[in-house]
Amino acid sequence: MGKIFGTFGVRGIANKKITPEFALKIGMAFGTLLKREQPDKELWVVIGRDTRVSGEMLKNALISGLLSVGINVIDAGVAPTPAIQFACKYFGTDGGAVITASHNPPEYNGIKLLESNGLGLKKERETIVEELFFKEEFYKAKWDEIGQLVERDIIRPYIDTIKAKVDVEAIRKRKPFVVVDTSNGAGSLVLPYLLRELGCKVVSVNAQPDGHFPARNPEPNEENLQGFMKIVKSLKADFGVAQDGDADRSVFIDENGNFIQGDKTFALVVKAMLEENKGGLVVTTIATSHIIDELAKMHGGKVLKTKVGDLIVSRALLEHNGLVGGEENGGVIFPDHVLGRDGAMTVAKIVEIFAKRGKKFSELIKELPKFYQVKTKKHIEGDRKAIVAEVAEIAEKEELKIDTTDGTKILFEDGWVLIRASGTEPIIRIFAEAKSDKRAKEYLNIGLKLLDEVLKA
């Protein structure tokens, strides 16, 4: 049986891999799964998309597939991925789907399928969708049982729900000056408006929805944000926020134009929420900074570490009744709001923290426990997971303390190094962290040396 889905949904080049025929069959397969599970129920699925050029074409094909099976569809139009996850709960649907390729270049697109609670589809249900897709065993509704299609707005209720979760009065008192770059993506319809309604002074750039992503690559990393970093500093803003194409992640620039690593903004949220709730469970991945562990110790919290992947973190939050979750790339998950990374909710919470603390953004970052990180990657063909497993074997022989939750993580007294195969690219990533820059580089070199030993063998 063939495989379609990766860690969360499927992605590829639009009209090559992700064609209208492909989307139609996914819709029919997903609809058939829902019909089999609840044959007598009137079933509804909510669908949304990001701003990509191919999005409308693929959305209409996916909708046609669902309607043909007898599934009713709510078309929420262009909206951030977390807004569609929110819509599943808000409209009380039986599932959802998002047409997006997140931070990938404009020629890509993809499909994510959602449970009724907005969480990504369970693996066992994904497997059934794949079987139905390849066998083409689709349910066909009678002519008078074909699903109905309705259009509904989710942006307004999504913004209102976020506003209700933060201290708007505190924000309005401080009136933060925020510059936003929504990468011509789905966040363009939410973030500038949300911030203005919260009482911020807002300057927005690249906020015209455009699926060509003319201004920059939609991945909000330091390399792609050089121009934006200069804008934030030159405008003398309190801070800047940049999002990816589907607005599930937000990254921050301080008032001096410095790029802030994702796990530091995650740490700001963790610190505030542990203080507000007098402890709680934080769920994060094996690759996230140990700043989180230190903050949990300081504020009576606990930390659960998972494999890398926002879907894995979201599931663990649900299973263990977690307070907040996140990853090192800046994705923060607020499980009482949306069971997935939410860029807009992250910004609202950070703005609230900024307003209440009364300090500069750079000062808030300086107050966090001090850790230094270095990262590199190696392009490697072949069985990368087997290579990483061999690194673990050598490390064990050398009597190093290891954690193999996801890849090989070697733990030292004051830091760690993680050697991990990418799930989406032919590379092995090496992350190291320590209490000093010198130590972090030493640990990175230990990881590289062990990896080279395996590659030379």
Spatial CA neighbour of 180 closest among 169, 196, 168: 196
CA separation for the pair 46, 58 (Å, rounded):
14
Spatial CA neighbour of 170 closest among 200, 192, 141: 200
102: annotated active-site residue: yes
CA separation for the pair 59, 441 (Å, rounded):
47
State the catalytic residue, choosing from 102, 188, 204, 314.
Answer: 102
Spatial CA neighbour of 344 closest among 269, 241, 204, 226: 241
Paired with 243 in beta bridges are 250
CA separation for the pair 163, 299 (Å, rounded):
26
Amino acid present at 457: A
- Please list the active-site residues: 102
